[in-house]
Amino acid sequence: MVDSEWKRLSWLWVRAYHIGLGATGVGITIWLTAQLEGWPAERYAQLIAIAAIYLVSSFFLIPLGRANLNIGYPVLFATLVNFGPVMGMWIIWPVFMIRWARQEIDAEKAFFNIGQISICVLLAHLILTYLGGDPQQLTLLDSLGPLLAATLLFDMLNILLVSCSVALESADNGLLSQFRLFYWDYRRESLPFYHSLAIVSSVLLFHEGVIALVLLTGTFLGMHSLLRLPQEVKKHRDAAMRDGMTGALNYRFFDQWCEGEGAQLVAENTCFSMLMVDIDQLKAINDTYGHPAGDEVIRQVAGCLQNCCRRNDYVIRYGGDEFLVILPETDPQGAKQVSRRWLRALQTADEGQEEKAVSFTTSGGVGAFPAHADTVEDLFSLVDKASYRGKSIDDNTVFVAQEETELKPEMDGITDQTEVVNLRTGKEQDEAQKSSKSG
């Protein structure tokens, strides 16, 4: 009750803060605009050009350390320095209006962001004026002190206003801890570059005009593309290694794993296990209920396997109804525990759905290196055969090989070197002992 009351009050405070700050910033913008005696036509043309440059650059981020550099900030700061706070305030409007139209942020957040940056622009302009940063005589050496103070104040105030919003939402994190996190912990590697670029952009705009911002923005867009290229390559490579339906890894990943990590584990004689999972009667499900129902069964099995595994385990969709789970540094007993966990999780999920249209079971086989095989290929062949053996024994059954490298195809051939684990009841059944007793 106390927690829900806190959340309600927190939501009210946050909303009041957003609306109040937004109204303050927008009000300042409108009031300062009304004080102007009018702009020449050339100034309107500059406003449109710079607003377009800021709009384009604001949607691109350059990764620097743990933070991303918004390359629209140097354009905004240079505009503030050279043309005053009013133009700096107006060029931010299109960005947040477009983000709101694209549903990236809601109307309240857009209103808050406009007011937040407008206040930062005004205070940075005031300190620049107070310290003598004359936009009519702007040089890098003479104006370095005022420009540095203005950009530092702008940035710190901007982070402080955001930190206030986050601190109001959470009872655990105070304002100072949030400010330190956002300003220093995340951004300390990028701060020198961030402020240096803002100062250089201001001087270039003064001496070379709007064309300097165009060239500077183009340069950093090129840097953005180059820095993003490795990430895009990795993103597409990762996508190529995953199954589109389930999000599990695919056969291509398994091939690479065998040649890389798998071969290394074998060379170092480090234990690992494989678990082959087979969905029972998937074809019958597709024929009876349709392929969408069968696809949902596949997704449910994949999700269950992923939830039951550790971070360093690999869940691979090997075939239409088959999944292979690789368990690094796991011995046979550990693999059996994983098998028991996912089969029970599937059973729990199945029982928890009141209106379940399709009922299904799974079977599997387990093997481990070096207990059951000497190579990755031999171990995979072993668990593949064990999976078929488990399916032939009973539904929801995992066949576990213990000390043999080749499984007999017939049930009567199970020796005292093998074990069958039926996890539907959560009990291990030693078929070898039963056979010996009946004999």
Per-residue DSSP letter, 321? S
Tokens standing for residue 4: 């829900």
Domain boundary among 240, 263, 291: 240
> In this predicted model, what pLDDT tens digit does every residue of 314-327 receive, in sequence order?
999 988 888 999 99
> In this predicted model, what pLDDT tens digit does every residue of 170-203 receive, in sequence order?
766 678 888 888 777 777 777 888 888 888 888 8
Is 257 contained in some domain?
yes
Q: Are residues 284 and 319 in the same domain?
A: yes
Q: Are residues 272 and 201 in the same domain?
A: no
Least reliable range by pLDDT among 224-238, 299-313, 405-419? 405-419
Question: What is the spatial distance between Cα 25 and Cα 23, in angstroms, rounded to a whole number?
Answer: 6
* Residue 168 CB contacts under 8 Å (≥ 6 apart), including other chains: 10, 13, 14, 17
pLDDT above 70 (res 236):
yes
Q: Are residues 304 and 404 in the same domain?
A: yes
Side-by-side strand order, sheet with 322-328: 314-317, 322-328, 272-279, 362-369, 397-401, 418-422, 427-429
Q: Are residues 88 and 228 in the same domain?
A: yes
CATH number at residue 235: 1.10.1760
Structure pTM?
Answer: 0.55
Q: Which alpha helices (H) appear in 93-140, and where do they start and end?
A: 93-101, 107-130
Backbone φ and ψ for 401, nearest 5 degrees, come out as: -85, 140
Q: Are residues 231 and 316 in the same domain?
A: no
Is 245 contained in some domain?
no
Is 246 contained in some domain?
no
162 is in which domain, residue-wise? 2-240
> In this predicted model, what pLDDT tens digit does every residue of 263-317 receive, in sequence order?
999 999 999 999 888 888 888 888 888 888 888 888 888 888 888 888 889 999 9
Is 17 contained in some domain?
yes
Tokens standing for residue 264: 């290394």
> In this predicted model, what pLDDT tens digit does every residue of 77-120 receive, in sequence order?
989 888 889 999 999 999 999 999 998 899 999 999 999 999 99
Question: What is the spatial distance between Cα 434 and Cα 439, in angstroms, rounded to a whole number?
Answer: 8
Is 400 contained in some domain?
yes
Question: What is the spatial distance between Cα 198 and Cα 147, in angstroms, rounded to a whole number?
Answer: 9
| pLDDT, average across residues 217-234 | 71
Please state whether beta strands 272-279 and 362-369 pair in parallel, antiparallel, or not at all (unpaired): antiparallel
Count of the separate structural domains present in the chain: 2
Domain boundary among 190, 216, 240: 240
Q: Are residues 213 and 120 in the same domain?
A: yes
Domain boundary among 209, 240, 271: 240
Tokens standing for residue 375: 């190579």
pLDDT above 60 (res 216):
yes
The answer to whether the beta carbons of residues 204 and 217 sit under 8 Å apart is no
> In this predicted model, what pLDDT tens digit does every residue of 134-171 receive, in sequence order?
555 555 556 788 888 999 999 999 999 988 888 887 76
Q: Are residues 23 and 164 in the same domain?
A: yes
CATH number at residue 292: 3.30.70.270
Q: Are residues 84 and 194 in the same domain?
A: yes
